[in-house]
Structure 1
Amino acid sequence: MNKNRKWWKEAVVYQIYPRSFKDSNNDGIGDLNGITEKLDYLKNLGIDVIWLSPIYQSPNDDNGYDISNYYSIMEEFGTMDDFNNLLEKIHKKNMKLIMDLVINHTSDEHPWFKESSKSKNNKYSDYYIWRDPVDGEPPNNWESRFSGSAWTYCESRGQYYLHLFSKKQPDLNWKNEKVKTDIFKMVDWWLNKGIDGFRMDVINFIAKEQGLPDSKRPDSPEKWSSLPKSHKILNELKNEVISKYDVMTVGETPFVTPEDGHKYVNENRNELDMIFHFEHVNLDNYDGKNFLKFKDIQSKWYKVQEQGGWLSQYFANHDQPRPISKFFNDEEYREESAQLIAMMLLTLPGTPYIYQGEEIGMINVGFNSIEEYNDIRTINKYYDMLNKNLAEEDFFDKLKEKSRDNARTPMQWSDQTHAGFTNGEPWLKVNSNYKIINVKRSINNPNSVCNFYKELIYFRKNNKDLIYSDYKDLLKKDKEVYYFKRSSNKNVYYIILNFTGNLIDLRKKKIKLDLNKLELCNYNNYDCKKLQPYEARLYISKT
């Protein structure tokens, strides 16, 4: 296993979705000064690295993932002075800051695209992917990840441009060396400013197959996901820019397999430090609550770490419904479910990523009409279904479960109006459960989700051999219990998790724990012989 010590392997990362974190000026939108206000909270939680979702200038077609100026701050979030102040204060508290790097596409309002769309003969004409119509139709059958064709016609050029996402997010042409030069220059500018790394958005999409042929299916990724050229670009970015700084990189890589994932993170290849794969969080799309499959995914991906790479661990982010609602019990056993997730997150191999609100057990929102949603993907799918003449009741509830807005509702700080997020009108409706689920209430309860996270983070920081320990699933075929161990030269850690709402007799599972020391449990009245619903335990023994 890869046991070379790095600060980013030992870190606990906290993702902030700035629009929804804390509003300091009461315009209803979270901002940089609001984040600065809450740094003591994050430090007290035990956070080492803060990851900010995009804060660059953007027309906000996709909430900041459509960037119109890489060198400016979105006015709604503040100014560059506000950012500099935030960065300085983060560093003074011995924390680090990583930013989102969105370089598969820009906004159609970026100056590069404005110029590119004017003609076929100007400095920026080849910065994006343009193709002539074929019999008056788009040049191939590719579909956008946000519904509909991946091509939009531009009258001024008489051509189509490619956008794997919204039509306001044209894909950059990475075959153009000038694009690479300008992007590398921008990356160096931010690193020189003092940030501590990047999370790279859909970074495995940046290369497209030569000739842009039709896909087997319009929504199939085989023509634009993890092609060899993407590895070459990342290797060049690492060698020419990133290697000059002591920073971390993590790539978002949808559709990636462990075999290809290993190429991205193998230390000898100089591409990325970690990636986010999607197999475990997408289980509900194809296999429901199949925890056998979940365990198999963990073991399969652990081989990446055994073979010289490093893993990330996450269950929530700005694109995923809340995991308690998706996989566990968000009603009777909400807190126990949240604490079970915390135990997995902070004891499985890899660097853990906590998403805002996860540490207090926030759950899905369940809006009642499409007018309450903001997410472009949710809204597009809704109208696609209506256009197919499906009755709303046939798909709306399912759409609610999947909406990215479940993760984007404002952070619930207190039981005050709008959950203490703002004194104005929030940009997105606050979850109605904020009087019960909020930071203030959680901090003041010693048995809360938040305090369980703090205990686990403290334990992880004080037992660094756990971070570099080997991993083994001890009960591979069991559908109810996840029982695994982490082994080092110093200690053996045993983690036992009840994935069900039922009592589990440990004797029937042939699990013997008599000689081990119980370090952490999410129940005060635990029973040595039985696991209670969604119970999570951590034992330790000396080797």
Structure 2
Amino acid sequence: MPENMKQAVVYQIYPKSFSSHRQQATGDLLGVVDRLDYLAWLGVDYLWLTPFYCSPQKDNGYDVSDYYRIDPAYGSMADFELLLAEARQRGIGIMLDIVVNHTSTEHAWFRQALKGRDNFYRDFYIWRDQPNNWQSKFGGSAWAFEPESGQYYLHLFDQTQADLNWENPQLRQAVFEMMRFWADKGVAGFRLDVINLISKDPAFSEDDSDGRHFYTDGPRVHEYLQQMHREVFAGRELLTVGEMSSTSLAHCIDYSHPERRELSMTFNFHHLKVDYPQGQKWQLGRFDFVGLKRILSDWQQGMHAGGGWNALFWCNHDQPRVVSRFGDEGQYRQVSAKMLATALHGLQGTPYLYQGEEIAMANPAFQHIEELRDVESLNAYQQLLASGLDRAQAMAVIRQKSRDNSRTPMQWDNSRFAGFSQTQPWLRLADDAGHINVAAALADPDSVLHHYRRLIALRKQYPVLADGDYRCLTPEHPSLWVYTRRSAAEMLLVISHFGAEAQSYRLPEGVIPEGWQAELLLSNYPAPPAGWQWQLRPWHSLLYRFYPVTPP
């Protein structure tokens, strides 16, 4: 893994919605090249690009039809090689999204598999004569019938995304060969999509659940990742992060512990389910703040003690915008976005920043289902109607939970299409693009953007952000999250107020080591008076550093 991993910050790009060099409805790779100076100014170390391979776009590129070719909508291999070179000149590495739990049913492997049960590629996928009761994560059965052979194939996601059979050693070698192809081109890392789902219970057991515990963190997944490490990662300075669906802390320690030689770090999503009433995503719900703190605290302490490493994030292409979800998208948008940024970036792990998060982009308040493109949301809308909700009720749920909330075009300036393109984008712009955009944020030294830039710089300046242990001081408080990060040489104090009501807080005795000196590193309001009792304003955030006074 890279030496800078613990000080690095990753910026996630959804190329379809980032910037269009060719002034078309969708973004492209040269659009990313056009924005590299901005990203270098921000201070990020890596760019993770979601898939731009050839794809029928049933799931916006996560249905890959050719791993070796770039979809013409995004450009050419020459464009990608230019992006690699230009990013490298600015000290930025490019991370690719690797989708190898499944392929598109338009992939050549699957088309060959359809030619007969004895075809070499048939065993690249998972077939059964009869389906079991496993459910797709996009709704309905996880099995689709193929009439020519009279068998069913497994698809844990959309019906056009057929799951690969990792039990087949030839399949594994084909995947590793593909990854080496991109590594040899000079990419700096890989993000591995739903990688903990690749090993299925070979008995295909079932019970009264949706089946996920039979394939989540499956029986051979660690073996497969260790083989991937030996055959792809070893000898290369690659940053690797696994997206772990419904995983456990114990497994993530194993996935990311350096001595196990699997991955650099892991994403988990438990903290982003605190607004799922009774565990149900497609229901309206307020988030459980105490639960949020508890989950993040458990993972901070558990990964630190176990020797694993966290990937830290609020947002990505599959999640609603965090300022709408856990902050205030109205009057206090700026201060709540800064507070959320500080709360996350003070933790141990590698922060991931999703495009637009740095300017506090909010959910776009979709009004009509026709405005959406996401297959999961469209399926959920129909299921909500079938459950008895009327159109307005169903749309209220979609408006809050849809993945398209994060996929509206990046807002660069106040021109007609926000500087994204000179053409009507594939997904409508948010209504606030005229005043919430990069150009406006760059011009305002007190903007959310400048706040993020300072946080990114602090991570490189103070080792305690990488190495310090974690202690939560307010585990049950209904609106305050106060925690410390401490090493032998220094300590951080992070105070975050999740709410609009004024709140007082006094630091308990003994938290500050005797004789240590304090400095305020960052606040989203003018600096408070000296002392260790605060009258906190709405969505207030404070970041202090403590260090021993050097004897004269």
Give the TM-score category using the shorter length: over 0.9
Partner of residue 112, structure 1: 109
Alignment counterpart, residue 544 of structure 2, candidates 536, 539, 543: 539
Change (3 A) 1:512 1:304: closer
1:250 CA displacement: 0.4
Query: Aligned pair 1:293/2:284, yes or no?
Result: no
Partner of residue 136, structure 1: none
Q: Structure 1 counterpart of 2:289, which letter?
A: F
Return the alpha-carbon distance in structure 1 between the equivalents of residues 542 and 478 of structure 2: 17
Partner of residue 385, structure 1: 384
Partner of residue 433, structure 1: 432
Query: Aligned pair 1:202/2:194, yes or no?
Result: yes
Partner of residue 71, structure 2: 74
Return the alpha-carbon distance in structure 1 between the equivalents of residues 507 and 178 of structure 2: 59
Whether the 8 Å contact between 1:466 and 1:488 is mirrored in structure 2 is: no
Q: Please list the CA deviations of residues 391-433 of structure 1 after superposition, one character each: whole Å capped at 9, or x if unmatched.
A: 1223220121000000000000011111111101101000011
- Pairs within 5 Å for 1:189-228: 189-217=181-209, 219-228=210-219
Return the alpha-carbon distance in structure 1 between the equivalents of residues 146 and 455 of structure 2: 53
- Pairs within 5 Å for 1:134-533: 139-217=131-209, 219-286=210-277, 288-302=286-300, 303-507=302-506, 516-524=518-526, 526=528, 529-533=534-538
Partner of residue 283, structure 2: none
The residue matched to 2:546 in structure 1 has which SS? Answer: strand
Alignment counterpart, residue 23 of structure 1, candidates 10, 20, 34: 20
Return the alpha-carbon distance in structure 1 between the equivalents of residues 542 and 111 of structure 2: 56
Whether the 8 Å contact between 1:316 and 1:354 is mirrored in structure 2 is: yes
Q: Structure 2 counterpart of 1:170, which letter?
A: A
Whether the 8 Å contact between 2:304 and 2:469 is mirrored in structure 1 is: no
1:464 CA displacement: 2.7
Change (3 A) 1:511 1:541: same
Whether the 8 Å contact between 1:475 and 1:483 is mirrored in structure 2 is: yes
1:527 CA displacement: 5.1
Partner of residue 281, structure 2: none
1:385 CA displacement: 2.3
Partner of residue 86, structure 1: 83
1:465 CA displacement: 3.4
Q: Structure 1 counterpart of 2:485, which letter?
A: R
Whether the 8 Å contact between 2:200 and 2:219 is mirrored in structure 1 is: no
Q: Structure 2 counterpart of 1:157, which letter?
A: S
The residue matched to 2:381 in structure 1 has which SS? Answer: helix
Q: Structure 1 counterpart of 2:69, which letter?
A: S
Unaligned stretches of 5+ residues in structure 2: 279-285
Q: Structure 2 counterpart of 1:261, which letter?
A: C
Alignment counterpart, residue 40 of structure 2, candidates 39, 43, 57: 43
Count residues in correspondence.
534
Unaligned stretches of 5+ residues in structure 1: 134-138
Change (3 A) 1:5 1:189: closer
Whether the 8 Å contact between 2:133 and 2:211 is mirrored in structure 1 is: no
The residue matched to 1:26 in structure 2 has which SS? Answer: coil
Which stretch has the larger CA shift, 316-325 or 453-462? 453-462
Return the alpha-carbon distance in structure 2 between the equivalents of residues 367 and 500 of structure 1: 25
Which stretch has the larger CA shift, 261-270 or 65-74? 261-270
Return the alpha-carbon distance in structure 2 between the equivalents of residues 263 and 227 of structure 1: 13
Change (3 A) 1:508 1:470: closer
1:390 CA displacement: 3.0
Return the alpha-carbon distance in structure 2 between the equivalents of residues 210 and 92 of structure 1: 47
Q: Structure 2 counterpart of 1:347, which letter?
A: G
Q: Please list the CA deviations of residues 14-51 of structure 1 after superposition, one character each: whole Å capped at 9, or x if unmatched.
A: 00000000011111100000000000000000111100
The residue matched to 2:295 in structure 1 has which SS? Answer: helix
Which stretch has the larger CA shift, 438-447 or 503-512? 503-512
The residue matched to 2:494 in structure 1 has which SS? Answer: strand
Aligned residues with identical type, % of pairs: 39
Return the alpha-carbon distance in structure 1 between the equivalents of residues 216 and 545 of structure 2: 42
1:290 CA displacement: 2.0
The residue matched to 1:421 in structure 2 has which SS? Answer: coil
Return the alpha-carbon distance in structure 1 between the equivalents of residues 264 and 331 of structure 2: 39
Change (3 A) 1:511 1:504: farther
Which stretch has the larger CA shift, 119-128 or 511-520? 511-520
Whether the 8 Å contact between 1:215 and 1:222 is mirrored in structure 2 is: no
Return the alpha-carbon distance in structure 1 between the equivalents of residues 196 and 398 of structure 2: 27
Q: Structure 2 counterpart of 1:195, which letter?
A: V
Return the alpha-carbon distance in structure 2 between the equivalents of residues 358 and 499 of structure 1: 18
Q: Structure 1 counterpart of 2:409, which letter?
A: P
Q: Structure 2 counterpart of 1:536, which letter?
A: S
Which stretch has the larger CA shift, 322-331 or 475-484? 475-484
Whether the 8 Å contact between 1:412 and 1:438 is mirrored in structure 2 is: yes
Return the alpha-carbon distance in structure 2 between the equivalents of residues 223 and 512 of structure 1: 45
Q: Structure 2 counterpart of 1:260, which letter?
A: H
Q: Structure 2 counterpart of 1:52, which letter?
A: L
1:512 CA displacement: 8.5
1:508 CA displacement: 8.8
Q: Structure 2 counterpart of 1:70, which letter?
A: Y
Change (3 A) 1:512 1:351: closer
Whether the 8 Å contact between 1:498 and 1:535 is mirrored in structure 2 is: yes
1:475 CA displacement: 2.2
Q: Structure 1 counterpart of 2:215, which letter?
A: W
Which stretch has the larger CA shift, 434-443 or 382-391? 382-391
Whether the 8 Å contact between 1:496 and 1:536 is mirrored in structure 2 is: yes
Whether the 8 Å contact between 2:367 and 2:395 is mirrored in structure 1 is: no
Change (3 A) 1:533 1:389: closer
1:389 CA displacement: 4.3
Q: Please list the CA deviations of residues 109-154 of structure 1 after superposition, one character each: whole Å capped at 9, or x if unmatched.
A: 0000001012101111111011113xxxxx1011111111111111
Alignment counterpart, residue 123 of structure 2, candidates 123, 126, 134: 126
1:515 CA displacement: 5.7
Return the alpha-carbon distance in structure 1 between the equivalents of residues 52 and 151 of structure 2: 31
1:333 CA displacement: 0.7
Q: Structure 2 counterpart of 1:300, which letter?
A: D
Alignment counterpart, residue 30 of structure 2, candidates 33, 52, 60: 33
1:211 CA displacement: 1.7
1:525 CA displacement: 5.5
Change (3 A) 1:506 1:385: closer
Return the alpha-carbon distance in structure 2 between the equivalents of residues 497 and 326 of structure 1: 16
Return the alpha-carbon distance in structure 1 between the equivalents of residues 371 and 445 of structure 2: 35
